Every structure is written in structure tokens, then in C-alpha cells.
Structure 1
Amino acid sequence: MSSKTAKPDGCHACGSERLDWGWLGVSNPNNMVVFYGETVRRVAAYACLDCGHIQLRVETEK
């Protein structure tokens, strides 16, 4: 994933394009978080304003 986290096209559950988002704090210089063998740089959470479904986008180190 690039350094610019792309917004999803829409909600995976209902298809709505009304999403709100924010960064989740997962990085700590002393404790690395690993996701499928990659070091996690940051995670964006997207919440659907229509159905409440939450989606995550994981950005990893290159």
C-alpha cells in the first residue's frame, strides 16, 4: 500500500459511500506490530454512516 491510504469505494456490507474514518494508534517505536509478516506503519478505520459496519486498511513498511 502506498503512503497515501486510499479511501475504500464504499461499505463492504451495504455498498453505501457515506464513510467516516480515522487513524488507529498502533505504532510504537519500542514494540513493532506485525500483520501477515509485514511491519505495520499505520491503520485507518472506516465506519459506514448508514449501517455501522467498520472496515480497516493496513499500511505496512516497505
Structure 2
Amino acid sequence: LEGIRIAYLGRSGKLTGLVKSIKNVPEEDRGQVGILINEAKNTIIEEIANKKNSFKISPREWFDPTI
């Protein structure tokens, strides 16, 4: 998961590259492009958080093999 986060949101990530290249988008389209990039970023962050939470084990599911 961390690798995915870095690949898309890291310093050299794909979305970071899109944000940097927004200056090449025509001015009248920048707002819409920015909104789409931010939506994608928020979706990625949310999905990574959801997946991390699904890996956590609740106390009820915890198994003690020494018992």
C-alpha cells in the first residue's frame, strides 16, 4: 500500500506530476482539471485508508495460539 501511495502521491508521483503540469493547461480549463486531480487524489487517499483499516484485527478476531 505504501508503494502505491508513493507511486501516485509521492514527490515524483503520477498525480504530483499532473499538478505540476497544470500550468500547461489552458487557463479556462485549469479549474476543472484541478478539481478532477483533487478528486482522484482524495479517492486514492480514502481507498488506501480503507484498505489499511481492513488489515487491522479487532480484539474479537485476535487469536492466542498459546492457549
Normalized against structure 1, the TM-score is what? Answer: 0.21
Higher percent of residues as strand? 1
Higher percent of residues as helix? 2
Task: Answer 1 or 2: higher relative contact order, Cα 8 Å, separation at least 6.
Answer: 1
Bigger Rg, which one: 2
